[in-house]
Every structure is written in structure tokens, then in C-alpha cells.
């Protein structure tokens, strides 16, 4: 994508620009490429960023219907990133094929936001039970009036005094990086995260740099995804591989 964008910045954005707007923006010297997660993010994540700019469409693996592809083309998408062949649907529009779209999203988001977890104190908590309790206890110990913290978990996302409702224990990678960025903007240095086995297995936290991780326990749950307790334990262990990574 960076080759496609040349010296432009890359930014995830669940919106779209028409062909006319793209040409107008390019003539005006636009330096940002928009990436459309194609359903990964909802309308609540839309941001206003300096008017219409060129577009690149980023599709989650297997998560976009053929009708969506046509819709993005009509709205002016100039390229697609996909993990399966969509040649018949995109025509002459360039396609960048990758093995794992989620990991590509993680790499691009991390690069765009300047690798925020390398400068934050990141504490991840995993385990079948107790993640919410442990993260809140640690947060209560670390948060001070002049040192806001962020907490990401089952109940909500907290950035300083701001509370945001969540749908997953561990949100998608784009939402995580937005949280880290906002924490840094208000002067925060510490982020506590509940890290689910689903998030670890599906790559939602791939590339995050943890300074401290906590394991609470492992009981018979989530075997619909992991199939066996051995695979479940392996998924949990992935968090420890990201210490200082």
C-alpha cells in the first residue's frame, strides 16, 4: 500500500470519496490515503479529517460480500486488499493479496500511529475469569489526578474520565490504536487491557508491545473456538510472546 500511496500517509477511515473528489484532492496535493475496513468499524468511528482524499479499500478476510465490493468501487475506491481472489468483482482495480488481512491492518495502524505502545506502559491481563477485577484493581492503584490511565475491557473502554461502551472484551486493532493515541494526547502513560483468547487467536492485538502481562486462570470455556484445552492454553500463552515485542 505504501508503494501505491508513494509519499502519502496511510489512515483507516470507514467512509468513501467519489472519483471526482479523489481527482480534486490529488490536484490539491492531498497526502493521506483512506483505508476502508469494509464493515470492521461502524459509523461511530467516522472521523472528520481534512475533507475528501484518495481512497484504498481494506477488506477483512471473508467479511465483505460481492455487493460491498461493487459499492466501494462505485464510491471511488482505487485499490483493494484481500485474502481471497476478487478479480472477477473488481475488474481493472488493483488488488493487493495478503494471507491475513487482520495482520496487515495491525501493521498499517501501528505504523500510522507511530507505534504508540512502545512509549506507553502496557499491562495485559488474560485468563478465563478475573480479568475485569484485576485490571480495575491495578487501574485504581496507578491512576492519579495528573496521570490519567486507559482501561480496555469487558464493561467499557476508559480513557482518563471518558467512558466508551464496548462490544468485545478486546476491540479490533483500529479501535485499540485510537485509544492509545487519545491516551497519549491527554498525557497518559499507562494502559490496562483485558486480552481475550479470541483476540489473541484472531490477531486483534498483534504487534502491541506489552511491558507486563498477568495470567489469572484457565477453565473449560470458549472451546467452540479453541476445540481443546491444549489449544485454549496455547492461545493464552501468545500474550506472553508479546512482552517487549
Span 99-157, pLDDT tens digits: 887 788 788 788 888 899 999 999 999 988 899 999 999 999 999 888 999 999 989 99
What is the Cβ-side half-sphere exposure of residue 47, based on CA atoms within 13 angstroms?
13
Largest Cα span, the chain:
58
User: How far is Cα of residue 159 from the mean position of the Cα atoms in its chain?
Assistant: 16
Please list the helix, strand and coil fractions of the chain in percent, rounded to the nearest 5, in that order. 35, 20, 40
What is the Cβ-side half-sphere exposure of residue 243, based on CA atoms within 13 angstroms?
8
In this structure, the number of other CB atoms found within 10 A of the CB of residue 28 comes to 11
Note the pTM of the prediction, 2 decimals.
0.67
pLDDT in tens, the chain (245 residues): 444 444 554 444 334 444 444 445 555 555 554 544 433 322 222 233 333 333 444 444 344 556 677 777 777 777 787 888 888 888 888 888 888 877 887 887 888 888 999 999 999 999 888 999 999 999 999 998 889 999 999 899 999 999 998 888 888 888 899 999 999 999 999 999 999 888 888 888 888 999 999 999 888 765 666 678 888 888 888 888 888 65
Q: Strand 9-12 and strand 32-36: pairing?
A: parallel
Q: What is the DSSP string of 99-113?
A: S-HHHHHHHHHHHHT
Amino acid at each position: 500500500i505504501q508503494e501505491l500511496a508513494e509519499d502519502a500517509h496511510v489512515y483507516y477511515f470507514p467512509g468513501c470519496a467519489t472519483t471526482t473528489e479523489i481527482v480534486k484532492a490529488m490536484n490539491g496535493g492531498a497526502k493521506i490515503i483512506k483505508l476502508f475496513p469494509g464493515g470492521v468499524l461502524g459509523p461511530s468511528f467516522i472521523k472528520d479529517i481534512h475533507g475528501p482524499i484518495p481512497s484504498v479499500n481494506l477488506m477483512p478476510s471473508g467479511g465483505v460480500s460481492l455487493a460491498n465490493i461493487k459499492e466501494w468501487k462505485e464510491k471511488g475506491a482505487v485499490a483493494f486488499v484481500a485474502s481471497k481472489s476478487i478479480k472477477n468483482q473488481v475488474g481493472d482495480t488493483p488488488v493487493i493479496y495478503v494471507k491475513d488481512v487482520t495482520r496487515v491492518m495491525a501493521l498499517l495502524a501501528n505504523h500510522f500511529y507511530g507505534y504508540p505502545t512502545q512509549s506507553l506502559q502496557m499491562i495485559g491481563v488474560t485468563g478465563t475469569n478475573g480479568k475485569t477485577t484485576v485490571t480495575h484493581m491495578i487501574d485504581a492503584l496507578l491512576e492519579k489526578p495528573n496521570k490519567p490511565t486507559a482501561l480496555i475491557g469487558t464493561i467499557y473502554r476508559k480513557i482518563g474520565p471518558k467512558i466508551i461502551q464496548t462490544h468485545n472484551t478486546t476491540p479490533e486493532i483500529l479501535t485499540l490504536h485510537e485509544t492509545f493515541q487519545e491516551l497519549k494526547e491527554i498525557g497518559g502513560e499507562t494502559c490496562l487491557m483485558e486480552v481475550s483468547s479470541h483476540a489473541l487467536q484472531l490477531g486483534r492485538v498483534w504487534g502491541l508491545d506489552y511491558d507486563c502481562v498477568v495470567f489469572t486462570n484457565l477453565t473449560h470455556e470458549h472451546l467452540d473456538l479453541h476445540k481443546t484445552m491444549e489449544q485454549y492454553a496455547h492461545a493464552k500463552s501468545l500474550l506472553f510472546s508479546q512482552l517487549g515485542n
